[in-house]
Structure 1
Amino acid sequence: MRQRQDAAALRGLIAGALADPRTGWSLGAYGAAILVPPGARPLPGRLAAVAPGGALAFGDPGALRAFAYETALGGGAWSHAVALCLPAESCPTGLPDRVTALGPDRAAARPEDRDGELFDLGLGLRAARLCLRARDGAALAALRAARGRAPSEAVLAALLALPCDRVVLAGGHRAEALHRGEALHRGEARPGEDAGPRLQILPKLLRQRRSHAATAPIPAGLVPIGSLQPPHPLAGGGFDAARHRAFQALLAAFGDPDLLALKRRVLAGEAVPPPATRAGRGSLRVAQAQARWRDGPGPA
C-alpha cells in the first residue's frame, strides 16, 4: 500500500463519492472531525460538495492514498469505509499548540464566508487543524483574547460554545460546519432538525494521540485525514447485494490484497485457520458474517 496510487483512479473515487448523495464523509483527526452525513450536493467543476449547514472541499488529491477496509462488529454485522490518508512523512509538524489567529478564511467553500476570521484552536494534531471561523463581534473578541492560551478542556469548551463556524483543515482539504444559528439564518436548517455537518470532538480519544482506531487496519506509514462511507448493504434492515458488490469492488481496487484473498477463501467455503494478525482475524469475522447474510437470512 505504500506504492503510489493511480491519480486518475483516486480522483475518480472522490468525484464519484461526492456525486453519490448516499455517501457520508468525515474529515479530521482521531477524536476531532467534522462529520458530513449523506445528502451533500456536488459543486460542478470542483472536488467539493455543499450540504445544508456545511461543506466539504478537496484540493489537489495527488498526495492522498485511499485505503478501503471493513471491521467486524458484534451481532454478525460489520462496518466499512475508505480512509483517505497522507504518508506520515508528508504530514505537517510544528503546528500551533496554542490558540492562534490565522486571518480571513479566503479559501472558504462559499464566497460569503470568506470574510470570516479563522482561529486555530491549537490541538497540534498531525492529521488536521481544528479551527473556528467568526464574524460575530463578541465571538471575535473572545477568540482574540484567547490567543496564546493552551487548549485545555475548559478553554476548548468555552470557545466551542461561541457562535462560530467549525472548520477542519487537512492536507489542503477542508470541511466546514456552520454554526446552528447561521444555518437557520440562511434557511439551510429548520428548528428542531439536524443542521447537517457537525463537529465531533472526543477529548478521551484526543488524549490518546493516535492516528486511528486500533480496529482499523490502516497500513503503517499512513495517517488518515478523513474517510468516505458508501451506503452499507445492511442499512435497510436486510442484505443489499448490489451495495455489497460495490464495496467489494472498492476493496479490490483500494484494499489490502492479503485480507481480500483471505475473505475470498472463506466465502468459497475453505476452512481457514485463525490468522496470526488482528487485521486478519477481523477480516475472517467479516467474511463469516457476510457468508451468513449471503447464504440465508443473516445471523442466527
Structure 2
Amino acid sequence: MNAATIDLLHRAIGDPDTQWSLGTFGAIAEFSRDRDEPVILRQSGDAVSAVTARGGIAIRHDPRNRALASESITRSGWNQRIALCLPEADGAMGARAVLTELGADGAALRASDRDSILFDLGLGAPHADFCVRIGDPDTATELRRHAGRAVFETGNPAMRLILAANPHRVFISRLGRIEVYQPIPPATGRSPEGPHTHVLPKLLKSGRTHPATEPIPGGWVPCAHLYPPHPARDGLGEARPFDPARHDAFQSDIARFGNPEFLAIKRRVQDAIAAQQPPSAMPGDRHGRAGIRIALRQLKAAGHVSPVLQSWLQDFDPAGLETEADEADLHHD
C-alpha cells in the first residue's frame, strides 16, 4: 500500500461524513457515524479504526491493497465509492458453507467483547466471513448443537436462536472488520440509521463478490469499501443542494485511484460541452457509456444550463433530464 492510500484511509476515518461497508453481493455490513457522536478514533502507521456505541470499523494497511475509485449510474443520479481490493488469493477467507464456531473473538474492537464467541454463519463468500458474536453462554451452547448445518436449511432453528439473541454482527475480511452493536430489526422493520447489516439469501446465490456495475479488475476482490461524501445526496441518500467541494474532492480521488480511460471519457464529454460541440460518437462499452451519462448528470447537478447539454442528455441519457429524487441506495447498486 503506497503513501497515497494510507493518506486516503487516514482522511476517511477522520471524516464523519464518510461511510464504509464490508461484505459481498447479498451480505454487507455498513458503518457510519454522526458528526456529534462520541467516537474513539485511531490512526497509526499500520491501521485505522473508529468505534462508537453503535458499532465500529477497523482497516489494516496492507502493501498489496489496491484502492479503486469508481462511479456508477443510479435511476436518476450516480453513486461513488472507493473499493479496497486484494488479489483473489491474498483476499481469501474461510468460505465456510455451514455454521461454524470460531472461538473467542480476540480481535474484537472493544476489550469487553474479546471473551465472547464468534460463530461464522457459513454464507460461503470467498473473501469475507459473516459472523455473529455471542456473549451469553447458554445461547452459545444452543448454537453449538447446530454447528455443521447450513443456517438457512429447512428446519434449522439456528437463525431463530440468533434473531432472539440479537448478538453483535461481525463481518471480517483480510483488510479488517465491521462490528454492529445495534439490534437486528424485525423482518417487517427497516434497518436502523448508523451501523447495520443486510443478508439477502437470494442475492448471495449469485456468487458475485460485487455488483456488475462496479469495475473491479479480474483476479481481484473488494475487501472493504468507503463512500466519501456525495455532492448531491446526504448520508441517508436524500437529495441535497449540490456541493462543489465534495464533487471536486471525489474527482481528485478518481484521478488518483480510478480508471484512466473512464476519467478520459468524462473529460472528453465535459470539454465538448464547454466548447459548445453537438453530441458525437463516444466509446460503446458498458463502463464507457456509464461515464458519458455520469459526466452529463454531474454537469446538470452542478447547475450547468445550455442547449448543448440538453442535446447531449437527450441523445445519451434521457433519464438524466428528469428532476425527481433518486430512490437508489447510494451503497447498493
TM-score normalised over the length of structure 2: 0.79
Q: Aligned residue for 2:133?
A: 133
- State which of 246, 270, 278 in structure 2 corresponds to 1:267: 270
Q: Aligned residue for 1:189?
A: none
1:209 Cα deviation from its structure 2 partner: 0.4
Equivalent residues in 2 for 1:118-197, closer than 5 Å: 118-152=118-152, 155=156, 157-161=159-163, 162-180=165-183, 194=192, 196-197=194-195
Q: Aligned residue for 2:48?
A: 47
Q: Aligned partners of 1:134, 1:195: CA distance in 2, in Å?
A: 23
Larger Rg: 2
Q: Aligned partners of 1:274, 1:138: CA distance in 2, in Å?
A: 63
Q: Aligned partners of 1:252, 1:44: CA distance in 2, in Å?
A: 25
Q: Which runs of 4+ in 1 moved over 4 A?
A: 153-156, 297-300
1:193 Cα deviation from its structure 2 partner: 10
- Code of the residue aligned with 1:92 in structure 2: it is A
Equivalent residues in 2 for 1:1-300, closer than 5 Å: 6-39=1-34, 41=39, 42-43=41-42, 45=44, 46-75=47-76, 77-92=77-92, 95-152=95-152, 155=156, 157-161=159-163, 162-180=165-183, 194=192, 196-235=194-233, 237-269=240-272, 271-296=279-304, 299=321
Q: What does the per-residue CA deviation read over 1:227-282, in whole Å, with 9 as the maximum and x for residues that have no partner?
A: 11111110252211110000000000100000001001101126442422111111
Q: Does the residue aligned with 1:291 lie in a helix, a strand or coil? A: helix
- Code of the residue aligned with 1:201 in structure 2: it is V
Q: Aligned partners of 1:85, 1:29: CA distance in 2, in Å?
A: 12
1:37 Cα deviation from its structure 2 partner: 2.1
Indicate how the Cα distance of structure 1 residues 43 and 74 shifts in structure 2: closer, same or farther if over 3 A, else same. Answer: same
1:200 Cα deviation from its structure 2 partner: 1.0
Q: How many residues were matched structurally?
A: 284
Indicate how the Cα distance of structure 1 residues 272 and 108 shifts in structure 2: closer, same or farther if over 3 A, else same. Answer: farther
Q: What does the per-residue CA deviation read over 1:196-217, in whole Å, with 9 as the maximum and x for residues that have no partner?
A: 3111111121010001111112
Q: Aligned partners of 1:290, 1:44: CA distance in 2, in Å?
A: 33
Q: Aligned partners of 1:12, 1:264: CA distance in 2, in Å?
A: 26
Indicate how the Cα distance of structure 1 residues 12 and 108 shifts in structure 2: closer, same or farther if over 3 A, else same. Answer: same
1:172 Cα deviation from its structure 2 partner: 4.3
Contact 1:48/1:56 (<8 A) preserved: yes
Percent of pairs identical after alignment? Answer: 38
Q: What does the per-residue CA deviation read over 1:47-95, in whole Å, with 9 as the maximum and x for residues that have no partner?
A: 10012311101223323211100111222x1110111111123232663
Q: Aligned partners of 1:293, 1:58: CA distance in 2, in Å?
A: 33
- Code of the residue aligned with 2:297 in structure 1: it is A
Q: Can you give the 5+ residue segments of structure 1 that lack an aligned partner in the other structure?
A: 1-5, 182-191
1:139 Cα deviation from its structure 2 partner: 1.9
Q: Aligned partners of 1:193, 1:285: CA distance in 2, in Å?
A: 31
Q: Aligned partners of 1:210, 1:79: CA distance in 2, in Å?
A: 19
- Code of the residue aligned with 1:126 in structure 2: it is P
Q: Does the residue aligned with 1:66 lie in a helix, a strand or coil? A: strand
Q: Aligned partners of 2:159, 2:216: CA distance in 1, in Å?
A: 31
Indicate how the Cα distance of structure 1 residues 207 and 16 shifts in structure 2: closer, same or farther if over 3 A, else same. Answer: same
